[in-house]
Structure 1
Amino acid sequence: MQLHTHTWGEGDRVALLIHGMMADHRTWRRVGPALAERGYRVIAVDLRSHGASGRGEYSPELFADDVAETLPTGADLAIGHSLGGLTLSLAADRLKPARAVFSDPAWHLASPSEGLGPQVFAQFKSAPREQIQAMNPRWEEADVDVELETLALWDESTALSLAPLFGTDLMPAAPVVPSLVQLADPSFLISPERAALLEGRGFEVRSVAGAGHTIHRDDFDGFMASLEGWVHPL
């Protein structure tokens, strides 16, 4: 499936952005322009069932097929958040970016017995502003606005279709390209034990102190600072 994309900048370098579940390209409203200022042409997708992209059947493999079909190969940088991180890891061998950043990637989805099953995520479809604000007290109001708009467009059956993956280990055996794993503090997806395993497999792992799951909205400055050495400087 060809996905809807949004582009910032006209630089010689190319950066790819892949959002997480319930979001779309607008989640990168600050990251896209910041990378464009650093000389990148930044391309962000709306995954299937999100934003302006089409609907259909859902699986990690299909998400990966879509981004491989839509985005250019050989980008200088690719960043995937949460579900976008899982998607990027499954498409990296086809996208072949020079560097990949996995921002709190969905490589371990908690089982329903741990309190975060697919039904819990699906219920966020109707989350009111007050709930979003309470769960994300560090977000700017513009991010809350975007969250409400993207939830309205999101097909919540995405979460339900991923039910077989909840409680399973989806961590890559090794990085396909030089890769940074950027973690929230604490991360409910990557435990310290899993982080140590990833380091042993050849990933660089960095945490953003005090940041929630959507690091780039919870602590934008911390998000950008943790990319030092992985993105072109100003």
Structure 2
Amino acid sequence: MQLHTTTWGSGDRVALLIHGIMSDHRTWRRFGPALADRGYRVLAVDLRGHGATGPADRYRPDDYADDVVETLPKGADLAVGHSLGGLTLARAVARLAPKRAVYSDPAWHLATAEEGFDPELFVGFKSATAEQIRALNPRWEEADVAVELATLKDWDTRTAHALPEFTGTDLMPAGPEVPSLVTLADPSFLISAERAALLRERGFEVRTVAGAGHTIHRDDFDGFMSALDGWI
């Protein structure tokens, strides 16, 4: 499936950005231009069921991965995936073959229903108000609250209903296909301290952004950029 793509910059280096669930390319409103200022041509997709790409018949991790491989260029200098985008990138990275990969609080472990996971919590958030978004994300800029409202409007809730199919399974890569950094929220509800240690053993560099929430690049943009030092 060809995905809607947004571009920032026209530099000689290429960066690929893959957003998380309930979001789209607009989540990168600061990061995309920041990379462009560093000499990148930045390509950000809207995954199936999100943004301008629109809905699909099926929402499985390999479907998301196949879409980005079909849409994005091979051999980019950098690829970044957040949350569901991190899972997507991990499934696609061998085929995309970027020079470096960054996984931002990746969805490599989803809780089971017994552990409290309920897709209806995601679905219910589609009708969240600006006040609710601010309360859940007190460090966000007002522009990010507006972006969240807009992206939720364009989001297909069936993507959340598909999540239980791959909950409770180990989705962590066996090792990095390319030099890879994992940035984590503090705390991360997706990657525990034990899993972070295992990722280090498997060859990933892991950095935690102190005090940041799950959407690190919106919760603490400066901290996120600092965590990418030497990688971008």
Task: Note whether the superposition's TM-score is higher than 0.5.
Answer: yes
Structure 1 counterpart of 2:20, which letter?
Answer: G
The residue aligned with 2:61 is 60
| Structure 1 range deviating more: 118-127 or 49-58 | 118-127
Structure 1 window deviating more from structure 2 (107-116 vs 54-63): it is 107-116
Residues 112 and 118 of structure 1 are in contact (CA less than 8 Å); yes or no, is this contact kept in structure 2?
Answer: no
Could you tell me how far 1:112 is from its partner in structure 2?
2.2
Shift, 1:161, TM fit:
1.1
Aligned to 2:93: 92
Distance 1:113 1:7 in 2: 41
Q: Distance in 2 between matches of 1:16 and 1:174?
A: 20
Deviation at 1:115, TM superposition (A): 2.4
Matched with 2:208 is: 207
Letter in 2 for 1:206: R
Corresponding letter in the other structure for 1:134: A
Q: Is the 8 A contact 1:24 1:47 kept in 2?
A: yes
TM-aligned CA deviation for residue 169 of structure 1: 1.5
Report the equivalent of 1:45.
45
The correspondence of residues 72-111 of structure 1 with structure 2, limited to 5 A, is 72-111=73-112
Q: Which residue of 2 aligns with 1:153?
A: 154
Q: For 1:67 and 1:175, how far apart are their aligned partners in 2?
A: 18
Q: Kindly state the Cα deviation for residue 162 of structure 1 after the two structures are TM-superposed.
A: 1.7
Deviation at 1:117, TM superposition (A): 2.3
Q: Distance in 2 between matches of 1:144 and 1:122?
A: 18
CA distance in 1, matches of 2:153, 2:46: 14
CA distance in 2, matches of 1:159, 1:14: 31
Between Structure 1 and Structure 2, how many residues are aligned?
231
- State the alpha-carbon separation in 2 of the partners of residues 175 and 137 from structure 1: 34
Output the CA distance in 2 between the equivalents of 1:51 and 1:164: 23
Residue deviations 1:169-197, cap 9 Å, x none?
A: 10000111000000000000000000000
Q: Distance in 2 between matches of 1:2 and 1:169?
A: 28
- Cα distance, 1:114 vs structure 2: 2.6
Residue number in structure 1 paired with 2:31: 31
Inter-partner Cα distance in structure 1 for 2:168 and 2:131:
30
1:128 maps to 129
* Paired letter, 2:12: D
Deviations 1:122-175 (A, max 9, x none): 221111111111110000010000000000000011010121112221000011
Contact residue 60 and residue 86 of structure 1 kept, 8 A = yes
Q: Kindly report structure 1 stretches of 4+ aligned residues shifted beyond 4 Å.
A: none
1:168 aligns with 2:169: yes
Q: Which runs of 5+ in 1 are unaligned?
A: none
Q: Percent identity?
A: 73
Q: SS at the partner of 2:181?
A: strand
Report the Cα offset of residue 204 of structure 1.
0.4
Deviation, structure 1 residue 54: 3.0
| 3-state secondary structure, aligned to 1:20 | coil
Distance 1:121 1:106 in 2: 14
Instruction: Provide the C-alpha distance between the structure 2 equivalents of 1:99 and 1:117, rounded to a whole number of angstroms.
Output: 34
Mapped to 2, the partners of 1:168 and 1:125 lie a distance apart of 26
Instruction: Name the CA distance, whole Å, in 1 between partners of 2:194 and 2:124.
Output: 30
Runs of 5+ consecutive residues of structure 2 not aligned to the other structure? none
What is the correspondence of 1:175-194 to structure 2 with a 5 Å cutoff? 175-194=176-195
Please show how residues 109-124 of structure 1 align to structure 2 within 5 Å: 109-124=110-125
> RMSD of aligned C-alpha atoms?
0.7
Distance of 2:167 and 2:149 partners within structure 1:
25
Partner of 2:231: 230
